[in-house]
Chains A and B, each alone.
Chain A
């Protein structure tokens, strides 16, 4: 009897050992590297507060996963693909970083995703806009979580065309992201029966937009669309207001605006602008509760990127817990198999190209009279179902999709 018992226990023990050997957490530590613009143009939309969101997720998760500790390292990518690449390489090759999170400038993301693929580590992209990240630049080693230029164009541009804005003047930031957005917008405008009369590319960054606004005014287009981001967008909107662009009957459409941009502009200058967002802090009790906690720590309301960092980190840690592994492909598969239902997304799912598909929202900036507080800025006008918002797989150029 005792022998059988001993045998049985040792059999179980060895089975457990084998199980542990197959799926284990390297160095008994899950190490997350947070790489983002911490000091430049894109600081406020992700930046140091994004790291706070990441740390909130780890704390809420309990600080450890299956007994392994969770560590965070962070670095400023300075919006430079070169600087970001050398940091990423050091992290994954020498410092055992398992996941790179944050990732804001599209050029940085594309550079880092190649390093992740070479080393078979995982990256979760929360800040970048270019839809090419999960299209021609897709890898089996990264996930694009919050939004991209495809739904930005789909949401805002199609809404504006349907309201009667048929002829378009596009003001584009002259670099990869602006070009991608301009392309996506042109497609949507033409599909909906509109016409792009002129697209002017301005240098990045530009502080004085008066010359471009004057060109937009004299073009006579119904819609003046801004395919730029950050300070370029806020500067252009301020100047458009000063030159009375909307008073003369033209519609101003900003294609990428973050909550922090709208907050900087204020309801007075930004009122009425339509925009597409992946998330807004004041949508329901769940989003408000999380945002209150975030605000306690940071003093500001979270952008969609902050919320996405929290949500994706949770999703990642849950996958590590379920599989007992921090190997990139194991975790990625588990993340793809698990629908995302939290304060950030409902029934979100990750496709094989790495795109996290979830509902997007068409919002309109409130008037100063409607806005009850400093951060009470958006009215959600329409929910755009995820399948409609994102590029369908049938149009995908991603190597992971076309091979199948």
Chain B
């Protein structure tokens, strides 16, 4: 069998596949962050908590009302998205225009409160959520066993990412959004309800995180602390991609998934740090990020 650095190619192809799958999660999450930062200039430290809420919500509405996976995949992000809109309306709006540090601290505080309250109620061991029946099992690709669900994760995440990019960059609504954040007074003058637009954008970014959470529910341990670890990684992804760059966030998310995947084979101890290492290098060579506009 052909080998690269002592590792069979078949094993590497499997890892490449898994890297793309994990990257799909990073892409979804960093996309939401990039939308919120790019359009609203809010550093959303509550993003990990929103991801967690999406997953928790999926499990809880199943336990309480028997809501199935497909419905939850739609309903959970909507519920969490509405919650995000309330946060924007009652809290974030009050510090609009202030230094970035205010939104960072406010959202970080919100994240800690959500995590603390839910930990008190549900504990940290994780809630049970079983895999939807139709996704049980998987296919043999020759070089690896690919569970059906993981294949679905790539498809779903990429579809949502593409739709988001298309909406913001290519539609009229997207152009209003971009213009509204560029010069809100002018847009107000044209009769566009800019505050509403901002609330909806924040809600949408939060929805993306919650969607990633709902997507994660069947395969990861669902608990109130699940968002805190992933948050920092996703921030690093956004920084590498270039703060605010929509396409950059998605592509970098996928790339970092693959980089991390390979590190898990060649030097597993370093897999938690490798993304930050890339971040340092990128910041040194290209401070605005791989896809960021030169400042």
The chain A residues found within 8 Å of chain B, CB to CB, are 39-41, 43-44, 47, 174, 200-203, 205-208, 210-212, 214-215, 217-218, 230-231, 234-235, 238-239, 242-244, 248, 260-261, 263-266, 268
Knowing A40-B124, A243-B147 are in contact, say whether A211-B261 is a contact too (CB < 8 A).
Answer: yes
The proximity string for B residues 131-170 relative to A, scoring 1 for CB distances below 8 Å and 0 otherwise, is 1000001100000110101100000000000000000000
Cα of A189 to Cα of B226 in the assembled complex, Å: 34
B223 at the interface (CB under 8 A from A): yes
Knowing A39-B116, A200-B268, A202-B268 are in contact, say whether A210-B125 is a contact too (CB < 8 A).
Answer: no
Selected A-B contacts with CB under 8 Å, 8 pairs: A39-B124, A40-B225, A201-B268, A201-B269, A206-B271, A218-B10, A218-B14, A264-B128
B98 at the interface (CB under 8 A from A): no
Residues of A within 8 A of B138 (CB): 242-244
Cα of A342 to Cα of B268 in the assembled complex, Å: 45
Other contacts beyond A41-B124, A211-B271: 15, CB < 8 A: A44-B125, A202-B271, A203-B271, A203-B272, A206-B271, A206-B272, A208-B220, A211-B264, A214-B144, A231-B125, A234-B126, A238-B221, A244-B145, A260-B123, A268-B130
Instruction: Report the minimal beta-carbon distance from A173 to chain B, rounded to whole angstroms.
Output: 11
- Contact of A174 with B125 in the complex, beta carbons under 8 Å: no
- Contact of B21 with A210 in the complex, beta carbons under 8 Å: yes
Cα of A235 to Cα of B131 in the assembled complex, Å: 14
Residues of A within 8 A of B124 (CB): 39-41, 43-44, 230-231
Residues of A within 8 A of B8 (CB): 218
Knowing A231-B221, A243-B138, A264-B126 are in contact, say whether A218-B11 is a contact too (CB < 8 A).
Answer: yes
Cα of A206 to Cα of B230 in the assembled complex, Å: 10
Cα of A264 to Cα of B125 in the assembled complex, Å: 6
Knowing A235-B220, A268-B130 are in contact, say whether A207-B230 is a contact too (CB < 8 A).
Answer: yes
B22 at the interface (CB under 8 A from A): yes
Instruction: Report the minimal beta-carbon distance from B104 to chain A, rounded to whole angstroms.
Output: 22
The proximity string for B residues 202-229 relative to A, scoring 1 for CB distances below 8 Å and 0 otherwise, is 0000000000000000011101011001
- Contact of A242 with B221 in the complex, beta carbons under 8 Å: no
- Contact of B219 with A238 in the complex, beta carbons under 8 Å: yes
- Contact of A214 with B14 in the complex, beta carbons under 8 Å: yes
**Which chain A residue shows the least CB distance to B263?**
A211
Cα of A171 to Cα of B123 in the assembled complex, Å: 26
- Contact of A174 with B269 in the complex, beta carbons under 8 Å: yes
Knowing A207-B229, A211-B264 are in contact, say whether A261-B125 is a contact too (CB < 8 A).
Answer: yes
Residues of B within 8 A of A244 (CB): 137-138, 145, 147
Instruction: Report the minimal beta-carbon distance from B125 to chain A, rounded to whole angstroms.
Output: 4
**Which chain B residue shows the least CB distance to A172?**
B268
**Which chain A residue shows the least CB distance to B131?**
A242
Residues of B within 8 A of A174 (CB): 268-269
B125: contacting residue among A206, A212, A234, CB under 8 A? A234
Report B10-46 residues with CB < 8 Å from chain A CB. 10-11, 14-15, 18-19, 21-22
Q: Interface residues of B, CB < 8 Å — how many?
A: 42
**Which chain B residue shows the least CB distance to A260?**
B125
Cα of A208 to Cα of B18 in the assembled complex, Å: 10
- Contact of A210 with B18 in the complex, beta carbons under 8 Å: yes
**Which chain B residue shows the least CB distance to A211?**
B264
Interface contact tally, CB-CB below 8 A = 107
**Which chain A residue shows the least CB distance to B115?**
A39
- Contact of A214 with B221 in the complex, beta carbons under 8 Å: no
Instruction: Report the minimal beta-carbon distance from B152 to chain A, rounded to whole angstroms.
Output: 12
- Contact of A264 with B127 in the complex, beta carbons under 8 Å: yes
- Contact of B119 with A39 in the complex, beta carbons under 8 Å: yes
- Contact of A44 with B145 in the complex, beta carbons under 8 Å: no
**Which chain B residue shows the least CB distance to A237?**
B221
Residues of A within 8 A of B137 (CB): 244
- Contact of A212 with B264 in the complex, beta carbons under 8 Å: yes
Shortest beta-carbon contacts, A-B, top 3? A203-B272, A264-B125, A211-B264
Cα of A39 to Cα of B264 in the assembled complex, Å: 29
Residues of A within 8 A of B145 (CB): 217, 243-244, 248
**Which chain A residue shows the least CB distance to B25?**
A208
Cα of A174 to Cα of B147 in the assembled complex, Å: 27
B265 at the interface (CB under 8 A from A): yes
Residues of A within 8 A of B149 (CB): 242
Knowing A212-B264, A217-B145, A218-B11 are in contact, say whether A203-B269 is a contact too (CB < 8 A).
Answer: yes
Residues of A within 8 A of B220 (CB): 207-208, 235, 238
Cα of A215 to Cα of B6 in the assembled complex, Å: 13
Residues of A within 8 A of B127 (CB): 264
**Which chain B residue shows the least CB distance to A201?**
B269
Report B254-295 residues with CB < 8 Å from chain A CB. 261, 264-265, 268-269, 271-273
A265: contacting residue among B11, B14, B128, B261, CB under 8 A? B128
- Contact of B226 with A263 in the complex, beta carbons under 8 Å: no
Residues of A within 8 A of B130 (CB): 266, 268
Q: Which of A230, A231, A235 has the most CB of B within 10 A?
A: A231
Q: Which of B8, B14, B22, B264 has the most CB of A within 10 A?
A: B264
- Contact of B223 with A210 in the complex, beta carbons under 8 Å: no
- Contact of A211 with B229 in the complex, beta carbons under 8 Å: no
B150: contacting residue among A205, A210, A231, A238, CB under 8 A? A210
Residues of B within 8 A of A40 (CB): 124, 225
**Which chain A residue shows the least CB distance to B270?**
A203
Cα of A305 to Cα of B133 in the assembled complex, Å: 36
Q: Which of A207, A244, A265 has the most CB of B within 10 A?
A: A207
**Which chain B residue shows the least CB distance to A244?**
B145
Knowing A39-B119, A207-B220, A214-B11 are in contact, say whether A266-B265 is a contact too (CB < 8 A).
Answer: no
- Contact of B126 with A214 in the complex, beta carbons under 8 Å: no
Knowing A39-B116, A268-B130 are in contact, say whether A242-B147 is a contact too (CB < 8 A).
Answer: yes
